[in-house]
Structure 1
Amino acid sequence: MRVLKGALLFLVVCILGGCWDRMEINDLAFVTGTALDVQEDGSLFCTLQIAIPGSKEGSGGGGKGDSGSFYLISAKGNNGNEIHQALQKKSSRQLFYSHRSVVFISERLARQGINKALLDVFTHDPRNRLKTYMMIVKGGDARQILELNYPLKQVPLEVVNEMQRTGDEVAVTLRDFFIANQSEGIQPVVGVLELGDHLTDKKEQIFKAEGTGILKDLKLIGLLDEKETLSLMWLMNNLKYGRISTPLPEDQGKIGIMLNHTTSKIVTHADKNAVRFNVMLEGTGTVEENNSSLDVSDSAQMAMIKQAVENSVRKQVEQLLLKLQKKYKADSVGFGQEVYKSNPGKWKTLKKEWDAQFQNASITVDVDLTVNGAGMVHSTLQHE
């Protein structure tokens, strides 16, 4: 009985005493964004954007020491632990990364290789949030993104909101990147941002999405533009929405289509010495702009529009595949992964030489679209 009473008393003391190792919110510095650059001597330069306690979200930027909703601290080093230690010494509060939205990586660092910047720093430390997005900053330094005096909210939050809203931009989290990097038969891709055109005027400082970064062996080897990014996302079955502008044959004008539903399927055909692929793209879209003499309410003319759009999409996708195969030599879509899934035995024989096999693989593309023409205006205003 005495033992039981003693145990109960100890339990009561522990409960009333609270958690001895808890961290008070007033002792934390909430990191909202990270920028990684590389110095001339090859060392890493890391910049953190930290929310100012009690500031109103969207009250303005605080880059370069300006008053606002955040402030920046920076440090350089040769590895993650060294940088984190230097950053922590610059903060009177414990750095807390669970609210971080985006990790920005400069194009220069990405082209040199991001393995030392990411794999060790972000995989072994449990304080890092794997749902954090990662983006490559085209040209300039990544820290310039965090320094922007953006007129709305903090830049990292706006980047995430933009990627989640549009549905036609590559949105890759740390978790997505690590899975792709460790998976069979696919190379990871990363979204790309670029600084705006008015960096000298603080009231007009902006950023814009600028396509996709193609990586191979954890090094950036090329960039895709917006049209190529749309094709890539469609191939990977990740496209939610998209806009296509299609020229009609015989100089009849152009048609603008808004895609609101797309699917992709890759069928693998294994031969003795190689593999062939058939890509089947399907989608549903609506005519949003008709700069031609065609009447979208006429079924025969809508059939012409449908065929023209399908041919345009097929040509655009084939050009992207040719670029991936011959120029970048990177299987960013995951054709090798399809071989691995459908025929693991065949993949074992192809895995070591997949780079060469992918460059010469036969890939055919079929497109089947459902195009709706009904809208506020059934045909062009110029139609008579």
Structure 2
Amino acid sequence: MRALKAAWLLLVVFTLGGCWDRMEINDLAFVTGTAMDVQEDGSLFCTLQIAIPGSKEGTGGGGKGDSGSFYLVSATGNSGNEIHRALQKKSSRQLFYSHRSVVFISERLARQGINKALLDVFTHDPRNRLKTYIMIVKGGDARQILELNYPLKQVPLEVVNEMQRTGDEVAVTLRDFFIASQSEGIQPVVGVLELGDHLADKKEQIFKAEGTGILKDLKLIGLLDEKETLSLMWLTNKLKFGRISAQLPEDYGEIGVMLNHTTSKIVTHTDNNGIRFNVTLEGTGTVEENNSTLDVSNSAQMTMIKQAMENSMRMQAEQLLVKLQKKYKADSVGFGQEVYKSNPGKWKTIKKEWDTQFQNARITVDVNLTVNGAGMVHSTLQHE
């Protein structure tokens, strides 16, 4: 009986004693952003943005680079683990990555290849969350994004909020990237940022979204501009909102439409003559800008506007597909994945030859738009 009571007492003590390996918040250094660059000798240069303890802005409220809300630490190495050890030695607190929002990678490093050693750290280390965004910095070093004095909010968090709000820019998480890189018949893409203009205070600088990075075999091989990015997002069924415009026939002028709902459907046809794809893009939008002589309240003229918008978007999508097929030779839309889903047996026979098959695949695009209303005015002010 005494032995039983002693056992119960020990159980209570251990239960109430807390977690033996618990890490106190005062012992943690909260990493909010990471930048990866490559040096002349090929080694990696990693910079961490760390929230300063006690700062109200440090973990999400915002603040300027010189306001004391965060600080930067950097280290070099040839692998992710080597760099992490070097960074940890520079911090008196345990580096904690669960609050990190973005990993920035320089264009130069991305073109050399997002090597396996780097990616393994982000996939196998449980301290990293897969909801972290990954973005390429066009031009200079990735660490410049973390170093700049941004006038609104702490940079990584501002990037995430902006990507989530707009719905017309490529926003790829580590999870999305790893899934695409390991999936059948598709190459991953990554959002691109570029440093923008200096403000009145020369120490303050902004950044801007600059399209999409096209990758093949984990190497950056090309960049898409704003219009090409919109087409890519529509083709991949990821476009939430988007502004499109078209020149009307017979020199009537230009019309702008705000898309608020889009869908994409890819139908695969396989036969003895090869593989064909038919892509149907559908969307709903509102006339947002009328720089034409047409009256958008007139049903016949609205039909003309609708057809012009559809033709413009079809040509835009077709031009992007030709670029992916002939210039970059990268299936960033996932046509191979559609073959894999619809006909796994066929995919098994062409998988090793898909690079060549994709370049020669016949792809047709149909666009169906529904244009509702005319915004705040029914026609151009020239009619008033």
Within-5 A mapping of 1:1-384? 1-57=1-57, 58=61, 60-62=63-65, 66-116=66-116, 118-198=118-198, 201-202=201-202, 204-272=204-272, 274-383=274-383
What is the rounded CA distance, in whole Å, between the counterparts of 2:64 and 2:147 in structure 1?
A: 8
TM-score under structure 2 length normalisation: 0.97
Q: CA deviation at 1:60?
A: 3.0
What is the rounded CA distance, in whole Å, between the counterparts of 1:59 and 1:362 in structure 2?
A: 49
CA separation of 1:233 and 1:54: change in aligned 2, threshold 3 A: same
Q: CA deviation at 1:181?
A: 0.4
What one-letter code is carried by the residue in structure 1 that aligns with 2:50? I
What is the rounded CA distance, in whole Å, between the counterparts of 1:366 and 1:59 in structure 2?
A: 44
Q: What 5-or-longer segments of structure 2 have no aligned partner?
A: none
What one-letter code is carried by the residue in structure 1 that aligns with 2:311? N
Asked whether the 8 Å contact 1:151–1:203 carries over to 2, the reply is no
Give RMSD over aligned pairs: 1.3
Counterpart of 1:340 in 2: which secondary structure? Answer: helix
What is the rounded CA distance, in whole Å, between the counterparts of 2:42 and 2:261 in structure 1?
A: 45
What is the rounded CA distance, in whole Å, between the counterparts of 1:262 and 1:147 in structure 2?
A: 37
What is the rounded CA distance, in whole Å, between the counterparts of 1:70 and 1:109 in structure 2?
A: 25
What one-letter code is carried by the residue in structure 1 that aligns with 2:167? G
Asked whether the 8 Å contact 1:36–1:105 carries over to 2, the reply is yes
Asked whether the 8 Å contact 1:36–1:45 carries over to 2, the reply is yes
Q: CA deviation at 1:271?
A: 1.1
What one-letter code is carried by the residue in structure 2 that aligns with 1:189? V
Counterpart of 1:206 in 2: which secondary structure? Answer: strand
Asked whether the 8 Å contact 2:288–2:374 carries over to 1, the reply is no
What is the rounded CA distance, in whole Å, between the counterparts of 2:137 and 2:199 in structure 1?
A: 15
What one-letter code is carried by the residue in structure 1 that aligns with 2:231? S
CA separation of 1:202 and 1:72: change in aligned 2, threshold 3 A: farther
Count of aligned pairs between the two proteins: 381
Asked whether the 8 Å contact 2:180–2:187 carries over to 1, the reply is yes
What is the rounded CA distance, in whole Å, between the counterparts of 1:3 and 1:289 in structure 2?
A: 84
TM-score under structure 1 length normalisation: 0.97
For each residue in 1:46-84, what CA deviation from the matched residue of structure 2 results, as whole angstroms up to 9, or x when unmatched?
Answer: 00000011112256333xxx4421000000000111100
Q: CA deviation at 1:2?
A: 2.8
What one-letter code is carried by the residue in structure 2 that aligns with 1:230? L
What one-letter code is carried by the residue in structure 1 that aligns with 2:320? L
Asked whether the 8 Å contact 1:257–1:287 carries over to 2, the reply is yes
CA separation of 1:218 and 1:59: change in aligned 2, threshold 3 A: closer
What is the rounded CA distance, in whole Å, between the counterparts of 1:254 and 1:200 in structure 2?
A: 35
What is the rounded CA distance, in whole Å, between the counterparts of 1:199 and 1:328 in structure 2?
A: 36
What is the rounded CA distance, in whole Å, between the counterparts of 1:374 and 1:196 in structure 2?
A: 34
Q: CA deviation at 1:12?
A: 1.4
Identity %: 89
Asked whether the 8 Å contact 1:149–1:202 carries over to 2, the reply is no
What is the rounded CA distance, in whole Å, between the counterparts of 2:83 and 2:201 in structure 1?
A: 32
